[in-house]
Chains A and B, each alone.
Chain A
Amino acid sequence: MRISDFYRGLLRLYPGDFHQQFSEEMLSVFEQRVVERIANRGSVSIAFVLAEFTGIAKGACTMWMTKILPIRRNTSQPRTAQSCPATPAPEPLTIAEATRQHNAAIRNMVAAIAGHDFPKARQHSYEEIRLKNLLKELQSKIPAGHSETLAN
């Protein structure tokens, strides 16, 4: 089936790890849908094929964006309390640590926006606000003349 070969080729647009994890499943699902359409309607519509191919192109772009941007979704999650509710990150004890987490929250938010994952971006935004307030609180406790300062 030539359409399946073309689809298989398009799946190579995804990053390697995604391709390795899902390409066989995706091809299998696509073939089942093609078979179902041929059985029900006698042919596969151009609209269906276009929707499938566009879905691949959009999905591949999103996955590459997530991969290329500095903080990957899955590696960044344990750093923030709200993004991983069952295993909240420990509260930062120093300004340096709080600053690091604050910067990570900003990067995660930017990455989520770039990936059009707006619910996740909102989560990171809440986390960024929380950490900013925490930083202010920590800084207010520092005696005058102390070397640690607020990074932002």
Chain B
Amino acid sequence: MRHVAKENKALDTKPLSEPVALILMSLATEAKHGYALLKDVEKLSEERVKLSTGTLYGAIRRLLDDGWIERFAQQDTSRDKQAYRLTARGRAQLDTEIARLRHLVRMATTRLRLKGA
């Protein structure tokens, strides 16, 4: 785990696209099916980001390939209702992205304050 976190630190220069960040955020709390994921992404972005089904599954495929999310086996899972959840690597990537955004906000706030003073 420590090893993974350390290795992921090397990726902190790579910003995530907004849809990908929102998908990871949505899965941070619990495993979700495709439809629930779409609804949650809309909710998280305050209806600003509305993914098409094709875009969502393109992103899901890439995230599965990268090992950031994984299929989550459920007892009542049918083939057309597959749940996904965040992996440790995906969580580390999300943490890294949040740290990057925090830094960005902090720097922007500082600069704006300086300009206002």
A contact set with B: CB distance below 8 Å: 18, 21-22, 24-30, 32-33, 51-52, 54-60, 62-63, 73-74, 77, 82, 84-86, 88, 117, 119, 122-123
Contact = CB atoms under 8 A, between A and B. Distances in A.
Nearest to B82: A25
Given A18-B61, A33-B38, A59-B54, A85 B80 contact: no
A55 B15 CA distance: 23
A52 B53 CA distance: 6
Given A56-B54, A58-B54, A85-B4, A29 B35 contact: yes
B80 A28 contact: yes
A25 B52 CA distance: 13
B96 to A, nearest CB: 10
Chain B interface SS verdict (over half): helix
A131 B80 CA distance: 43
Contacts of A84: 67
Contacts, number: 89
A58 B62 CA distance: 15
Given A28-B80, A73-B65, A59 B14 contact: no
Given A55-B54, A84-B67, A119-B15, 6 more contacts: A28-B34, A28-B35, A29-B33, A30-B53, A73-B65, A88-B7
In the A-B complex, the 10 residue pairs with the smallest Cβ-Cβ separation, listed nearest first, are A55-B52, A55-B54, A59-B54, A85-B7, A28-B80, A24-B80, A56-B54, A59-B58, A29-B34, A74-B65
Contacts of B33: 29
B14 A29 contact: no
Nearest to A84: B67
Nearest to A51: B52
Chain A interface SS verdict (over half): helix
Interface in B34-77: 34-35, 38, 50-58, 60-62, 65-67
A32 B11 contact: no
A86 B4 contact: yes
Contact of B55 (A32, A59, A73): A59
